[in-house]
Structure 1
């Protein structure tokens, strides 16, 4: 487990992490989200002992990371896949890491095969694409067969097959009872991978929820589709619903249950071609939760403003 208790980090007058308390439990993939400047990277650095907290504490497996004698055997992390000496061969890079933590060379062969790098094990890293470097970083994180995995932007540089592979890998690791924490800006991908979500804003914890509960945050809407234009929008509005037009004689309806919509349509002889409840996406919920906490805002595009 990763445990943060009143974790705080300040830089001069700026508070990057503000009194965070959370638990990242084993057996599930936990997503870590937040706008730019929310404090995600600082929090991860505190978890991995790369920065010291100003207040509070964070433990991995019940101990501070800096107190771990052979940390690669307990925590595997990927923060920056490009931070590798370009003149070193892939196998040699992993062997060097393995020896610092008493990991046998046989494990290097295993992780190279598991990450699809066996055929390029003797190539120099400087000639690798970003996706290959990402795979090498993942191999390094898996090297000690750790019970805790921390990945920052794990799909960075990967092609579609690689994205599917890392998604399946993370979920299988959680299925084995490991603790998996991933930070990403690709919210749609995170929705397919994570079981639980932590959301930060300006260094504070805004949400700590299962994915299922979070995407029921505002109930979603109902997609209604008719064959042609009908008085249904005004009928639904009169019953207190909010109705937004969608292409193809579609209506996005909030404020009424599907059964109520069907009953109103039937009472007025309006045939329905579609009546589909839609849960909100993780991106929709994320924007609603974090909007007041965003530090960086862009002006709307000229056409959007108009």
Structure 2
């Protein structure tokens, strides 16, 4: 488990992390989200002892990370997959890491096979693509068979097959009872992968909730008929809010899909579409973080010719 209490980091006069309190628990994938500059990287650095907090504390299995005797056996991390000496061969890179934490050399070949790099183990890392370096970074994170995994943008550079693989991998590791923390900007992928979400904005914790609590049906139903009908008036009489979009399309709030279908059936109105609308994680994320976006781009306007 990873626990933070009133964790704060101030650089000069800027609060990069502002009194964060959270628990990252085993048995689930926790997504770590926030706009650029929200404090995610700083928080991960504080968890891993790469920097010290101004105040507060963060513990890994009840201890500061720097107090762990064999850190690779307890915490596997992927921060920057490109931070590898380009002249070193993949297998040698992992063997060097294994030796620092008394990890058996046989484990190196296991993680190379697991990450799909067995046939590239003899190649120098400088010739690897970004996706292959990402796989090597994941292999290094898995090397000590740790109970905790912290992965920053793990699908960066991976092809669709690799994205599917890492999604299944992290979920299976969480199902084994491990603690998994993933930081990412890919909302669609995070929605498919994470069970729980921590959302930061300007160093503050904006949301700490499960995916099902955060992304739930918004109460709207999309309906389409094949011709003009009295359905909007009939639904309005029952307290629904109906927005007519033309072409027989309606957006309805205040009635469940079953009730809408019952009204239509009772009056002989055929429905071409009846779809409950569920907001995406991207929709919810943008709503939660809208006031905390530091770097907001302008709208492109073409120059008149």
Shift of 1:103: 0.7
Give the deviation of 1:245 after TM superposition.
3.0
Gaps of 5+ in 1: none
Paired with 2:207 and 2:294, the residues of 1 have a C-alpha distance of 18
Equivalent residues of 1:75, 1:146 under 8 A apart: yes
Q: Match for residue 180 of structure 2?
A: 180
Distance 1:301 1:271, change over 3 A: farther
Tell me how far apart the structure 2 counterparts of residues 132 and 235 of structure 1 sit (CA, whole Å): 59
* Secondary structure of 1:273 counterpart: strand
Residue-pair matches, total: 301
Whole-angstrom CA distance in 1 between matches of 2:236 and 2:35: 35
Matched, 1:132 2:142: no
Contact 1:153 1:184 in 2 (8 A): yes
What is the SS of the residue equivalent to 2:170?
helix
Trace 1:147-226 onto structure 2 (pairs within 5 A). Answer: 147-216=147-216, 219-226=218-225
1:74 corresponds to = 74
CA distance in 1, matches of 2:219, 2:104: 52
8 Å CA contact 1:33, 1:40 repeated in 2 = yes
- 1:292 is the counterpart of 2:291: yes
Shift of 1:70: 1.1
Distance 1:205 1:244, change over 3 A: farther
Structure 2 equivalent of residue 275 of structure 1: 274
Larger mean CA deviation between 269-278 and 60-69 belongs to: 269-278
Distance 1:234 1:286, change over 3 A: farther
Does the C-alpha gap of structure 1 residues 145 and 221 become closer, same or farther in structure 2, counting only changes over 3 Å? same
Q: Does the 8 Å contact 1:148/1:179 carry over to 2? A: yes
The 8 Å contact of residues 4 and 21 in structure 2, kept in 1 or not, is answered as yes
SS in structure 1 at match of 2:123: coil
1:234, CA displacement in angstroms?
5.6
Taking the TM superposition and a 5 Å limit, the aligned residue runs for 1:235-246 are: 236=235, 239-243=239-243, 245=245
Shift of 1:233: 4.2
Corresponding residue number in structure 2 for 1:262: 261
The Cα of 1:236 is off from its aligned counterpart by 4.4
- Tell me if the contact between 1:32 and 1:198 (Cα under 8 Å) persists in the aligned partners: yes
Instruction: Give the TM-score, by structure 2 length.
Output: 0.93
Q: Secondary structure of the equivalent of 2:260?
A: helix
Note the alpha carbon deviations across 1:238-275, whole angstroms, 9 max, x for none: 644152638x7433322332234334434554321222
| Mapped contact 1:117–1:136 kept (Cα < 8 A) | yes
Runs of 4+ in 1 over 6 A off after TM superposition: none
Q: Unaligned regions of 5+ residues in structure 2, if any?
A: none
Q: Which stretch shifts more, 237-246 or 197-206?
A: 237-246
User: Cα RMSD between the aligned structures?
Assistant: 1.8
CA distance in 2, matches of 1:245, 1:97: 60
Give the distance between the partners of 2:279 and 2:144, measured in 1 at CA: 39
CA distance in 1, matches of 2:160, 2:206: 31
| More displaced stretch, 269-278 vs 9-18 | 269-278
Q: What is aligned with 1:228?
A: 227
Question: CA–CA distance in 1 between the matches of 2:29 and 2:219?
Answer: 24
Confirm or deny: 8 A CA contact 1:220 1:280 kept in the other structure.
no
